[in-house]
Amino acid sequence: MRALLSVSDKSGIVEFAKGLEELGWEIISTGGTYKKLQENGIKVIEIDEVTKFPECFEGRVKTLNPYVHGGILHKRGDEAHIAQAKELGVEGIDLVCVNLYPFKATIERTDDFDEIIENIDIGGPTMVRSAAKNFQDVLIVTSSDDYARVLDALQNGTNTLEFRRDLMIKAFEHTASYDSMIANYMNKRFNNGFGEYQFITGKKVFQTRYGENPHQDGALYEFDNFFSENFKQLKGEASFNNLTDVNGALKIASSFGDENAICIVKHGNPCGFAIKDTLLESYTEALKCDPVSAFGGVVAVNGIVDEELAKKMNEIFLEVIIAANFTDDALKVFESKKRIKLFAQGGTKLVMSNDSYDFKHIDGGFVYQNSDCICDNEVHNAQLKSDKQASNQEMKDLEIAWKVAGLTKSNCVVYVKNSAMVAVGMGMTSRVDAAQCALKKAKEMGLDVSGSAMASEAFFPFRDSIDAAASAGVSAIIEPGGSIRDDEVIQAANEHGISLYFTTVRHFLH
């Protein structure tokens, strides 16, 4: 039996080769892999001896050869194939271990296009595909994580068709992901990221309990190991809906840097938010906005949950808590709660991957766009349109209201007072309805919105929203501006003594 080993990532390859050698396998190798195996005392055949042709064109051609691919692809159970292989002098290659040139690492390290081109693997994917196609006779190994499994299967006689089939699927996933990454990079470099085709690939992290509903299956997939490195399940099993809610809460809570931000989300929409001197104070104030909706909700904590905060959170039923981390004492507080799910990122503050692109499934396909960014300077650089200027606290409240509004379903209006959200209306067909709904809810909760700052993620088309805000006692408003009736809106703000700012940027979320 012969194995061809040719890897860019050489972790574990020496141990794997030694294991194969001990089982009586003959080892063939190329370039750097050949050198490493030889240096470690492994008897290895250089690829030139197999191909009977020298590596050429600066290494661009070395395994693209009939002696290699014939050895991989001929059917071991087909008499005609066996006869032809004997006639041509083609010997079988029964295991192929390949991982590909580090294209991703190259594009992250340099913008030199010549170097990038040279790190597009040709021979590697070709060998992988050949071996995967002939999986009934050949083992294809593309991940160092599988080295031990393969050796175990060979040692214990469990090298079954099903085992090889699983490796085959992983191999085609490997080459598909690799080619997709190259195509997407080329389109980003030359077509502004919008080519004839768009490839979205992700690696499975775990299966969810179910999809949006129990009769649906679901799973979490990741880009660039984000969840593997920043998402630890400490308690409970996440559902599909849990993860989408966590995403909404995480985006809002993490958008305030190192501040003690806490966001409470229910069914994808924020129902509480606050930034105070401590996380405990932040949670207490965030909960006041809508404690009814918070029941069974998802909480994102931009910091570490300690025992005191855990006890406070444990007073009501919360379905999910995502935090930078939890102290051991805090985890003990939640031990008796069977239904709660706890997730930690492992740091001191929440982080986001900040994906460059965003997409949404629609029936028959998907729409794809550059990701929206609510930048910190949007509020700081907003244009004062009214006679009255906002105070420092009002500017802070405007910033909070603006960011929350931009990350909440349109149409949306957010009211913030003393760094805590006191009312929110979201997902409405009318902006006026969103404002009125928010105020009605605040009244039911016994919250005073007078002196609050208000944000709308899109412009107010008429002055009626300003008049309504004035009736509620709003003292400052921020919106994109851009309506043909902006002058009427500004006039209304001045009549009511309200500070009014235009960001000139809108943030619809549908």
**Residue positions annotated with a catalytic role:** 133, 267
Distance CA 194, CA 398 (A): 35
Across-strand partners of 45?
28
- What one-character DSSP code corresponds to residue 258? T
* Helix, strand counts (H, E) of the chain: 21, 21
- What one-character DSSP code corresponds to residue 251? H
Distance CA 86, CA 92 (A): 10
C-alpha distances in angstroms, 98 versus 131, 159, 261, 347, 390?
Answer: 10, 19, 46, 35, 62
Neighbour-count burial for 399-414, b at 16+ CB within 10 Å, e otherwise: bbbbbbbbbbbbbbbb
CB atoms within 10 A of CB 258: 9
Distance CA 507, CA 458 (A): 7
Are 414 and 408 in contact by the 8 Å Cβ rule? The answer is: yes
Residues with Cβ within 8 Å of residue 15, at least 6 apart in sequence: 147
| E-only strand ranges, 373-466 | 383-384, 413-417, 420-425, 453-456
Distance CA 338, CA 500 (A): 48
**9: helix, strand or coil:** coil
* CB-count exposure of residue 102 (10 Å: 0-12, 13-18, 19+): middle
Nearest C-alpha neighbor of 413 from the set 291, 300, 269, 298: 269
Query: What's the distance, Cα to Cα, between the start and end of the chain in Å?
Result: 58
Q: Amino acid identity of 422?
A: V
